[in-house]
């Protein structure tokens, strides 16, 4: 009779260490009372997902506000789906949002006493734990083929019973150790399954930091814990890693709730204390049919954090927006704090909504405008430079022509109590400010200018000549406007809308009409920032040239 121990030895002859050795190697952390250890555990399968940023943000906050540790662990056990270099990129993007770990995997390096933080480098650890499970008879090798697995699945589906590898369907569970040993010696391929003692008719009580208490059926599936490629599955790696990395609170997406019974049983039979769990609601989006669905990286551009980076949103804006989803009281808080020092906000799990929020681009834009409006011209310059250098060459070259000029443009009505909120991102900045540059303005002039058709060309020309000759830029705004008004009145423009309405026959138009002529002439657009300041930035010479040019075009 072959014993469990002998099976374990047969499968892992080279594994000499025990779980006790691991306990010594990775001792409990020496942290102050109440300090939480959280972790972000991404797979290197692509770009940083908006939902992952959300999870990381919360992990980061929880660790930070309890003087704990936030670390990153790379879950690269699915070698088929792995995308080269994406692990490193994930970390780079986290950094851009200031949601950065203090321990673990950093892309190029790893730092911390619980290393390695990359699962593919932890094979020896998993093997020790699995050997232990084999020894105590709570794991067994499974030789079932994919074909058999498919077959029982379809049978189960037909019979409308719970699908999976459990009970009578768990064929290899009933093999004798003698049979196991023989098949292993014969070189048959196998995986290792966890031998569950659960009964799915019985329920266990679980506690979740965001959902509170609820009941859920026990696990009775003999899940695979060790794949044929020698790497563990998520469930097993989760139990082992979060135990030996001494995670106190596992923060992850809600989609994991249903595998919680598996995890709890794993922790228990390994003799580990289970961590606290917080299952976060998932960020959703409305699809074409009006159904909610999880933000999908494949379908929704806003699902990838890189989308916001490419579009030039300030990182703070996304973080702020995500925080409003995380904690309903955050909005009130950030308004009270004038959009400053959001790092001082205290996050709490019980202020978290239980339903997945619909991603709201409009609200993101709102936060982005608020944030950019509060930056000074120097900060705007730096932000615009670092963005454009990476993503927008045309803008970068434009800024580089004359940084002072760029700052003057961006500073229009900025340094005041209620600054303009024209910009939410840098992605469309080029188009918004190109008219300030002569060569680009000439491009605009190639299109027909949209002057109001009720004024004939001669009148427009005349008014432009008048403005050119009589407008004095060396006055303050009030003086300048009085100046403009006087020119208008002289040529039968009403000084304001009321006068015009009272007696429309007496006037050719209003002062607004005059301002519009000037605005279109100088900017090519019907809308622009305050005309006085636009002219200040352009300067007299440039303004005069533009007027001359348009006058000649009108002939």
Partner RNA sequence: GGCCAUAUGGAGAAGCGGCUUAACUCAUAUCCCUUUCACGGAUACAUUCUCGGGUUCGAAUCCCGAUAUGGUCACCA
CB of 510 to RNA, least distance (A): 8
One character per residue 272-311, x = contact with RNA (rule: CB under 7 A): ---------xx-x------xxxx-----------------
CA 278 – CA 256 distance, rounded (Å): 10
Q: Which of residues 413-452 bind RNA (CB under 7 A)?
A: 413, 418-422
Residue 331 makes contact with RNA by CB under 7 A: yes
C-alpha–C-alpha distance, residues 210 and 284, integer Å: 18
CA angle 334, 338, 339 (to 5 degrees): 55
Cβ atoms 98, 85 nearer than 8 A: no
What are the tokens at 120? Answer: 């593919």
Cβ proximity to RNA, 224 vs 462, nearer residue: 224
User: Edge to edge, what strands does the sheet with 139-142 contain?
Assistant: 139-142, 191-194, 224-226
C-beta separation of 215 from 205 below 8 A:
yes
Residue 31 or 489 having the CB closest to RNA: 489
Evaluate the CA torsion angle 459, 460, 463, 469 in order and state its sign.
Answer: negative
Which of 339, 347, 321 is closest to 249 using CA atoms? 347
Report how far apart, in Å, the C-alpha atoms of 247 and of each of 36, 37, 67, 242 are. Answer: 8, 5, 14, 5
Nearer to RNA, 35 or 149 (CB): 149
Which is nearer to RNA, 331 or 548 (by Cβ)?
Answer: 331
Q: Indicate the length of the chain as a whole number.
A: 555
> 27 or 502: whose CB is closer to RNA?
502
Does position 320 bind RNA by CB under 7 A?
no
User: How far separated are the first and last CA of the chain, in Å rounded?
Assistant: 107
Under rule CB under 7 A, residue 349 binds RNA: no
State which residue, 312 or 509, has the beta carbon closest to RNA: 509
255 makes contact with RNA (CB under 7 A):
yes
Q: Are 128 and 18 in contact (CB under 8 A)?
A: yes
Q: Which of 9, 121, 302, 360 binds RNA (CB under 7 A)?
A: 360
Give me the 512-551 binding string for RNA, x by CB under 7 A, dash otherwise. x--xx--x------xxxxxxx-------------------
**Minimum CB separation from RNA for residue 321, in Å?**
9
Instruction: Answer yes or no whether residue 75 interacts with RNA by CB under 7 A.
Output: yes
Measure the CA–CA gap between 444 and 42, rounded to whole angstroms: 47
Least distance to RNA from the beta carbon of 141, Å?
10
Task: Kindly tell me which of 24 and 203 has the beta carbon lying closer to RNA.
Answer: 203
Where do the H-state alpha helices sit in 66-109? 86-96
Q: What is the distance between the alpha carbons of residues 189 and 70, in angstroms, rounded to a whole number?
A: 39
| 125 forms part of the interface with RNA (CB under 7 A) | no
Tell me if residue 251 falls in helix, strand or coil: strand
Site for RNA in 34-53 (CB under 7 A): 41, 43
In the complex, minimum distance from the CB of residue 76 to RNA, in angstroms, rounded to a whole number: 8
Q: Would you count residue 499 as binding RNA (CB under 7 A)?
A: no
Nearer to RNA, 35 or 216 (CB): 216
From the list 107, 137, 163, 167, which residue makes contact with RNA (rule: CB under 7 A)?
163
CA distance 263 to 235: 6
**Interactions with RNA, residue window 1-40 (CB under 7 A):** none
Q: How far apart are CA 529 and CA 416, in angstroms?
A: 15
Question: Closer to RNA at the Cβ: 131 or 263?
Answer: 263
Rounded to the nearest whole angstrom, what is the least distance from the CB of residue 519 to RNA in the complex? 6
Q: Does position 366 bind RNA by CB under 7 A? A: yes
Indicate whether 362 belongs to the interface with RNA (CB under 7 A): yes
Distance CA 553, CA 230 (A): 76
Smallest distance from RNA to CB 238, Å: 8
* Residues that contact RNA, how many (by CB under 7 A): 86
């Amino acid at each position: 009779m072959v014993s469990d121990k002998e099976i374990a030895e047969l499968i892992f002859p080279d594994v000499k260490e025990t779980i006790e050795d691991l306990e010594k190697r990775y001792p409990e952390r020496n942290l102050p009372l109440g300090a939480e250890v959280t972790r972000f555990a991404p797979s290197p399968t692509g770009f940083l997902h908006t939902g992952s940023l959300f999870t990381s943000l919360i992990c980061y906050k929880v660790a930070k506000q309890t003087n704990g540790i936030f670390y990153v662990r790379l879950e690269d056990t699915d070698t088929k789906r792995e995308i080269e270099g994406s692990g490193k990129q994930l970390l780079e993007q986290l950094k851009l949002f200031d949601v950065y770990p203090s321990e673990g995997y950093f892309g190029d390096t790893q730092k911390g006493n619980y290393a390695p933080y990359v699962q593919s480098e932890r094979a020896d650890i998993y093997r020790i734990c699995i050997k232990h499970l084999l020894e105590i008879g709570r794991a067994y090798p499974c030789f079932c083929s994919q074909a058999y697995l498919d077959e029982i699945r379809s049978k189960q589906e037909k019979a409308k019973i719970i699908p999976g590898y459990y009970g009578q369907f768990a064929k290899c569970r009933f093999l004798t150790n003698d049979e196991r040993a023989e098949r292993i010696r014969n070189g048959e391929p196998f995986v290792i399954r966890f031998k569950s003692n659960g009964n799915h008719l019985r329920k266990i009580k679980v506690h979740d930091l965001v959902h509170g208490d609820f009941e859920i059926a026990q696990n009775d599936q003999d899940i695979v814990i060790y794949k044929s490629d020698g790497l563990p599955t998520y469930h097993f790696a989760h139990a082992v890693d979060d135990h030996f990395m001494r995670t106190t609170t596992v923060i992850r997406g809600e989609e994991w709730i249903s595998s919680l019974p598996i995890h709890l049983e794993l922790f228990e039979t390994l003799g580990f204390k289970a961590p606290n769990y917080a299952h976060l609601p998932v960020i959703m989006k409305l699809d074409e049919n009006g159904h909610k669905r999880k933000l999908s990286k494949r379908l929704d551009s806003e699902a990838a954090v890189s989308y916001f980076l490419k579009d030039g949103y300030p990182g703070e804006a996304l973080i702020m927006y995500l925080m409003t989803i995380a904690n309903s009281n955050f909005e009130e808080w950030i308004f009270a704090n004038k959009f400053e020092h959001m790092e001082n906000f205290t996050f709490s799990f019980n202020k978290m909504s239980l339903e997945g929020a619909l991603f709201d681009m409009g609200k993101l834009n709102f936060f982005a405008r608020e944030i950019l409006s509060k930056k000074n011209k120097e900060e705007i310059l730096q932000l615009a430079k670092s963005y454009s250098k990476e993503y927008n060459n045309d803008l970068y070259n434009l800024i580089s022509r004359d940084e002072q000029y760029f700052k003057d443009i961006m500073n229009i009505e900025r340094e005041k109590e209620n600054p303009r909120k024209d910009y939410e991102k840098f992605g469309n900045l080029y188009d918004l400010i190109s008219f300030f540059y002569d060569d680009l303005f000439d491009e605009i002039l190639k299109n027909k200018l949209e002057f109001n058709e009720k004024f004939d060309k001669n009148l427009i020309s005349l008014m432009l000549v008048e403005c050119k000759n009589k407008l004095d830029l060396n006055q303050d705004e009030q003086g300048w406007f009085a100046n403009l008004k006087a020119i208008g009145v002289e040529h039968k423009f009403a000084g304001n809308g009321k006068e015009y309405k009272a007696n429309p026959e007496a006037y050719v138009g209003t002062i607004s009409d005059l301002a519009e002529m000037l605005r279109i002439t100088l900017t090519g657009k019907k809308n622009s920032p305050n005309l006085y300041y636009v002219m200040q930035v352009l300067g007299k010479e440039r303004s005069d040239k533009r007027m001359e040019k348009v006058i000649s075009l009108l002939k």
